[in-house]
Chain A
């Protein structure tokens, strides 16, 4: 297989768009417009990022890497904070979390010589770490909100027995972390058995030897595993306190949480 797909071959990709378009037309799903729009938008976005990456890869690493990583972190922060918009300081917490986690992972890559400090290696791999961390933070926020809502009675019971917010939240924090980590543990267990991971597939298609591709895949898979664990833990431990006020009372609805945005969290 050639690592390059010719422009002519790319044109035939339109066949893949015709399949869902035809289905939408035949079954009157009313989705034709969004199928066309998402296919077009995806194509333009990918080509645009391709040209941007080409430009970035030509820049000196100390310029190209920070610029692209910063852009990725900011976009990821905006996206993840939508899952907990009503919570105070959620943007700052996610932003700091992503910077710290990316910093740790990148440092380890460089220190242990797993990845070379050049844009063509750091940027795609950082993208995977930041993207997965973003999803993990969003999921942890959503899970934490639903756990707090479902366990109001238990939390009130714990507070009424003299528990501080941190002690009362222990159960919620444990459940949230558990729920965030289990899918990743499962994913790691079956890696390569059901589906070949994307990065490894890409490298093999690009002509890299499978064993070499696996080494890269291991670096990225374990880095993501660690980043996702850290993300869930960071956002959970940083945000649980905002579900209480300074008087160690549970805030039970969105209006109370939003009002809390203007105040300091409990101890």
Chain B
């Protein structure tokens, strides 16, 4: 079943996007800087809206879904953690508290998902390392139990080792919890490890899409060929 379907969607710099994403897909969006990857990500949870075209969520136009409910179902992890002032717990309970759904016992499970010790629960977020902050950001999004997880280069500002640890968490999430992943990344090795489908974007368009292995090893367009060579 299609989770998302884009029909002739245009939103500068994005042009004429037509694609669909099925449940449990692990879609990797890659391409050069300025291709419109992050702009595309913001359309999925209506942090921005298309100028033209229609986006469907489970065959219903996305605009028919109440905005807070949509954003709860379609979680987003940004490039930087952007944690709120306070403790780890204040951050991870933020989303569920908005909907009156927070339960104390969730805390342990969430920290366990992102491989953080319970001892950090009441730690001020200012005292965390970069990797820990990004995990808290991930736990904060997962606390809403989203069906779809959007990730905007979540490891780009982390060192190699920490990035690998976050990657493990994501792998575990997609395999054990069968969540739909849509991730923007510049790291093709990471894309290969985490994804099964791929979108190659350039100048606001999806130039090539399909099976990720095919895209990476048997590209059909010159643009993707050149990008992979670089």
Chain A residues engaging chain B, CB cutoff 8 angstroms: 153-154, 156-164, 167, 171, 247-250
Contacts and interface: CB of A to CB of B under 8 A. Distances in A.
Nearest to A152: B82
Contacts of A158: 84, 94
Given A161-B94, A162-B98, A247 B141 contact: no
B98 A159 contact: no
B98 A167 contact: yes
Contacts of B94: 158, 161, 163
A247 B46 contact: yes
B80 interface: yes
Nearest to B46: A247
B108 to A, nearest CB: 20
12 contacts: A153-B80, A156-B82, A157-B76, A157-B82, A158-B94, A161-B95, A162-B68, A162-B144, A247-B67, A248-B67, A249-B46, A249-B48
A161 B141 contact: yes
Interface in B124-170: 137, 140-141, 144
Nearest to A266: B67
Contacts of B47: 156, 159-160, 249-250
A160 B76 contact: yes
B99 interface: yes
Contacts of A159: 47, 71
Q: Which 10 A-B pairs have the closest CB atoms?
A: A153-B82, A161-B95, A160-B76, A162-B68, A157-B82, A162-B72, A162-B71, A154-B82, A248-B67, A162-B98
Contacts of B76: 156-157, 160
A161 B48 contact: no
A27 B194 CA distance: 67
Contacts of A250: 47
Nearest to B141: A161
Contacts, number: 62
A171 B84 contact: yes
B222 to A, nearest CB: 35
B192 to A, nearest CB: 27
B78 A153 contact: yes
B144 A161 contact: yes
A245 to B, nearest CB: 9
B85 to A, nearest CB: 7
Given A156-B47, A249-B46, A162 B69 contact: yes
Nearest to B73: A162
B31 interface: no
Contacts of A153: 78, 80, 82
Task: Count chain A CB atoms within 10 A of each CB in B68, B69, B99 and give the residue with the most.
Answer: B68
B45 interface: yes
Given A162-B144, A163-B68, A250-B47, 10 more contacts: A153-B82, A156-B47, A157-B140, A159-B71, A161-B141, A162-B68, A162-B69, A162-B71, A171-B85, A247-B46
A57 B67 CA distance: 58
B48 A157 contact: no
A248 B42 CA distance: 13
Task: Count chain B CB atoms within 10 A of each CB in A158, A162, A171, A247 and give the residue with the most.
Answer: A162
Contacts of A162: 68-69, 71-72, 95, 98-99, 144
B103 to A, nearest CB: 17
A163 B72 CA distance: 9
Contacts of A161: 71-72, 75, 94-95, 98, 140-141, 144
A253 to B, nearest CB: 13
B205 interface: no
Nearest to A163: B98
A164 B68 contact: yes
B67 A160 contact: no
B125 to A, nearest CB: 11
A160 B95 CA distance: 9
Nearest to B49: A247
A247 B76 CA distance: 17
B45 A160 contact: yes
Contacts of B84: 154, 157-158, 171
Interface string B58-92: 00000000011101100110101011110000000
Given A156-B82, A158-B94, A160-B71, A249 B49 contact: yes
A157 B98 contact: no
Contacts of B45: 160
